[in-house]
Amino acid sequence: MDYLEILVLRLVSLYQMAIVIYILMSWFPGSRESSIGQFLASIVEPYLEPFRKIIPPLGMIDISGVVALITLQLAAQGVHVLFGFFR
């Protein structure tokens, strides 16, 4: 059971890194149009889209990505607690 928990938490960590990279790519013009940017968009945008619908940008700053990362971190902690019940 521990291996499954480690696998899930590592996948969540990789997804968090993908979100951070995708958010940072917005600082560089044309980077989201690259093949890596399009790949990350296909993975990350379905998760970020609901947050963008709920949280409007503050001027030119879009904080929905930060809220999405916090939510994902809380979900990871929930997974850790959930697996703790099965030990």
pLDDT value, residue 57: 87
Strand ranges (E), 4-78: none
Residue-wise DSSP of 45-62: HHHHHHHHHHS--BTTB-
Mean pLDDT, all residues of the chain: 93
Q: Using DSSP, state whether 62 is helix, strand or coil.
A: coil
pLDDT score, position 17: 97
The Cβ-side half-sphere exposure at 30, using a 13 Å CA radius, reads: 0
Residue type, 56: P
**Which pLDDT tens digit goes with each residue over 24-58?**
998 898 999 999 999 999 999 999 999 999 998 88
| Residue 26, both tokens | 């917005």
Confidence of residue 61 (pLDDT cuts 50, 70, 90): confident
